[in-house]
Amino acid sequence: MDQLCELPTRVPGEPGTAVVDASLKFLQPVSRQLVHRAAVAEVFITDALQVSEDRFLVGAQWPRDHALYYPDAQGMSDPLLLTETARQALVYLAHEYCRIPLGHRFVGSDTYFEITDHEALVVGGTPLHVTLDVQWSWVANRPPRRFGMQVDAVVSVAGRECARAGLSVYAVDENLYRRLRWRGTEEQGRDGAARVGRSAATRLPAADVGRLRAKDSVLGRTEAGEWQLLVDLHHAVLFDHPGDHIPLMVTLEGARQLGHHLVHRRQDTPAGAVLRAVRVDCPAFADLDEPVRLCTELQPPATASDVTKMCIRAVQREDTVATVTMEWLPHLLPAAPEEVAFSRDRVGSGAAV
């Protein structure tokens, strides 16, 4: 077994300041095309304000319930909402403020989040109003055919700082995207359903992977004991619109489900465990027509109150298409454990965002 993929240590420094701005609105979602979503119900961004040349405040509303991203048994919002909201914030700012054309393809190379106050994310009697204090950076930027960008956000709810999240993306025009993918999108598109790689893996029951509906389980296991990512192009949330490869959020969902299954199988506390920190690195595209294996490296906690760390590699053919590092906490730990930081020193290929 390879050495466990460790989460980097936070760089010392003062934490970000939670921001409350009365002019930031939460009345309605922004246009769905500005966040690359087909369904209005999947749009979480409501507003944005430019504070300086490279700093923005972004408002989002998280639903009290959702078909896929619903609260856990203790009422805490699904942590993957942090990744999806950061993704939507980046895309919205890119189009609305940074003059990136709507026709460009967005490809993510890495993303992360860390939760510093779980209690702030507990769902109450109304939807959560979430504010992202976003720092925008241009990285490997070569307009007009390729734009490289990165966002790092301090996340707060009602002025209470509770998390950090970030994403690195490059946006390219259609011709450059086809060169990167080695084929045009017209070769796949919606008829890609016929080319989804058939898997001999048996889908795990939803309850075993922390989901409520059978169709939301994306984790399978073969007779040889291998874990596989199962792809369903008809899933209305994970495949909100047609594409020619497996999106980053689908790979992250598969890793999260495998992490949940392994941690809860080992966890002795009845409350289970909660996902605290995630980092995803995507060095390559994951195609639809080949199986994706999920290979795990697990570092069990020394005691019942310790963090469980794991690294999950998504492998297609013999290539690693994504690496997901995670930290899980026993659900009864204090809400604000020691923070973790993620280095942002690489930009590679990846998956559509």
Give the pLDDT of the chain (353 residues) as one tens digit per residue: 444 555 444 333 334 455 566 689 999 999 999 999 999 999 999 999 999 999 999 999 999 999 999 999 889 999 999 999 999 999 999 999 999 999 999 999 999 999 999 999 999 999 999 999 999 999 988 888 899 999 999 999 989 999 999 999 999 999 999 998 875 444 444 344 445 656 789 999 999 999 999 999 999 999 999 999 999 999 999 999 998 999 999 999 999 999 999 998 875 555 578 999 999 999 999 999 899 999 999 887 767 668 899 999 999 999 999 999 999 998 754 444 444 444 444 445 677 77
Report the C-alpha gap between 224 and 222 in whole angstroms.
Answer: 5
Report the C-alpha gap between 83 and 278 in whole angstroms.
Answer: 9
The structure tokens listed for 327 are: 């930290």
The structure tokens listed for 23 are: 């002019």
Burial class for 58, CB neighbours closer than 10 Å (0-12, 13-18, 19+):
buried
* Residues 301, 255 contacting (CB under 8 angstroms): no
For helices 80-96 and 248-266, give the axis angle rounded to 10 degrees. 160
Q: What pLDDT was estimated at residue 18? A: 55
What are the tens digits of pLDDT across the range 226-278?
Answer: 999 999 999 999 999 998 999 999 999 999 999 999 998 875 555 578 999 99
What class is the 32-352 domain?
alpha beta
User: Model pTM?
Assistant: 0.86
Q: What pLDDT was estimated at residue 300? A: 74
Among left, alpha and beta (phi > 0; psi -120 to 50; other), residue 124 is beta
Report the C-alpha gap between 349 and 303 in whole angstroms.
Answer: 38
Beta-bridged to residue 187, according to DSSP, are none
Radius of gyration of the chain from Cα atoms?
Answer: 19
Domain ranges of the chain: 32-352
Q: What pLDDT was estimated at residue 292? A: 96
Give the other-Cβ count within 10 Å of 54's Cβ. Answer: 13
Query: Cα 260 vs. chain centroid, distance in angstroms?
Result: 15
- Asked, as a colleague might, if the bond just before 247 is cis with ω within 30 of 0, I would say no
Q: What pLDDT was estimated at residue 190? A: 39
CA distances from 175 to 36, 146, 181, 295, 305 (A): 19, 11, 10, 34, 52
